[in-house]
Amino acid sequence: MNYLLALCFILIFPSLIGWFLTHQIKIKGHFGLGPPNVHCPACDTPQPFIRKPTSMRQALFGGYTCKACGCEIDKYGRPQPARR
């Protein structure tokens, strides 16, 4: 019984995590990994690789605020609605 539990931890859980991350990348979800080079959709300015989040949403899910025009961008380079 202990071997079955160990097998679950070694094989099944990493497989599920890998599937989840792959799925999030394909659908461009909050928990996926963004591309390394993101450009502002409004002014085409490249965003820095190391970012400084300006909101809680950017800190949790990734994203940028363009220094040139102030546009908020998600980690995939799509514009985000302005904060209230």
Sorted by where each begins, the domain ranges of the chain are 1-33, 34-84
Indicate the residue type of 26. Answer: K
User: How does pLDDT run across 14-71, given as a tens digit for each residue?
Assistant: 899 889 888 888 888 877 777 888 999 999 999 988 888 888 888 888 889 999 998 9
State if pTM tops 0.75.
Answer: no
Cα dist from 81 to 35, 70, 74, whole Å: 20, 12, 10
Cα dist from 71 to 56, 57, 77, whole Å: 16, 14, 11
